[in-house]
Amino acid sequence: MSKPTHRNTVAAAAALAACVALAGCSGPLSAIAGPEASVGEALAAKTAALSPKVESTISKGVLTVGIDTQNGMVPLYVGSDSGRAYGMDVDLASALADELGLKVRFVSVDDANPGLGTTCDVLMGAVDGQVGATTVVGDYAEQASAFFHKGDTGIAKVDDLSSKSVGVQTGSVSQTALSKTGLMMSVKTYDNLNAAFDALESGGVDYVLCDAYSGAYLSARYEEVCLAGTLDAPKAQGIAVSSQNAELADAVKAAYDAVEKNGLMGLVRRRWVAGMDPLSASSQVQDVPAGSPTAAGETTATDGSSGSANQASLAAAPASHEAGSNAATV
**Geometric angle at alpha carbon 278, from 5 and 311, rounded to 5°:** 75
pLDDT given at position 3? 57
pLDDT over 70 (residue 300): no
Q: Say yes or no: 106 and 11 in one domain.
A: yes
Number of domains into which the chain is organized? 2
In Å, how far from its chain's centre is CA 169? Answer: 18
Q: Say yes or no: 239 and 125 in one domain.
A: yes
Q: Say yes or no: 122 and 81 in one domain.
A: yes
**Cβ-contact 138, 238 below 8 angstroms:** yes
Q: pLDDT tens digits, residue range 231-269?
A: 999 999 999 999 999 999 999 999 999 999 999 999 999
Lowest mean pLDDT among 41-45, 56-60, 190-194, 223-227: 41-45
Comparing 29 with 250, which gets the higher pLDDT? 250
Q: Say yes or no: 193 and 298 in one domain.
A: yes
Dihedral of the alpha carbons of 77, 78, 84, 86, in degrees to the nearest 10? -70
Q: Say yes or no: 50 and 22 in one domain.
A: yes
Q: Say yes or no: 77 and 203 in one domain.
A: no
pLDDT over 60 (residue 13): no
In a domain, 16, yes or no: yes
DSSP notation for 281-322: GGGBPSSPPBPPSS--GGGGGG-----B-TTTTPPPPPHHHH
Most confident of 7-16, 226-235, 320-329: 226-235
Segment 70-91 shows an average pLDDT of 91
pLDDT over 60 (residue 305): no
Comparing 130 with 211, which gets the higher pLDDT? 211
In a domain, 308, yes or no: no
Lowest mean pLDDT among 23-32, 140-149, 226-235: 23-32
> Mean pLDDT score of the chain, rounded to an integer?
82
Sheet with 103-108, side-by-side order of all strands: 103-108, 62-67, 122-126, 235-242, 134-143
In a domain, 251, yes or no: yes
In a domain, 328, yes or no: no
Query: Can you give the pTM of this predicted structure?
Result: 0.80
Q: Say yes or no: 133 and 269 in one domain.
A: yes
pLDDT given at position 33? 32
pLDDT over 70 (residue 230): yes
- The burial of 83, by beta-carbon neighbours within 10 Å (0-12 exposed, 13-18 middle, 19 or more buried), is given as exposed
Lowest mean pLDDT among 36-50, 142-156, 190-204: 36-50
In a domain, 174, yes or no: yes
Q: Say yes or no: 190 and 246 in one domain.
A: no
Q: pLDDT tens digits, residue range 288-298?
A: 999 876 544 44
Sign of the alpha-carbon dihedral angle for 85, 211, 97, 42: positive
Range of the domain at 119: 6-143+234-278
In a domain, 202, yes or no: yes
Strand partners, 135: 241
Q: Say yes or no: 132 and 177 in one domain.
A: no
Q: Say yes or no: 95 and 119 in one domain.
A: yes
Q: For the domain that residue 19 is a member of, what is the CATH number?
A: 3.40.190.10
75 prior amide bond cis, ω within 30: yes
Look up residue 132 and give its DSSP letter: S
Residue type, 103: K
In a domain, 206, yes or no: yes
- Distance of alpha carbon 24 from alpha carbon 247, whole angstroms: 21
Q: Say yes or no: 121 and 256 in one domain.
A: yes
Say what percent of the chain tops pLDDT 90.
Answer: 65
In a domain, 47, yes or no: yes
Q: Which of 131, 257, 145 is nearest to 211 (CA)?
A: 145
Lowest mean pLDDT among 129-138, 153-162, 254-263, 278-287: 129-138
Segment 203-222 shows an average pLDDT of 98
Q: Say yes or no: 272 and 242 in one domain.
A: yes
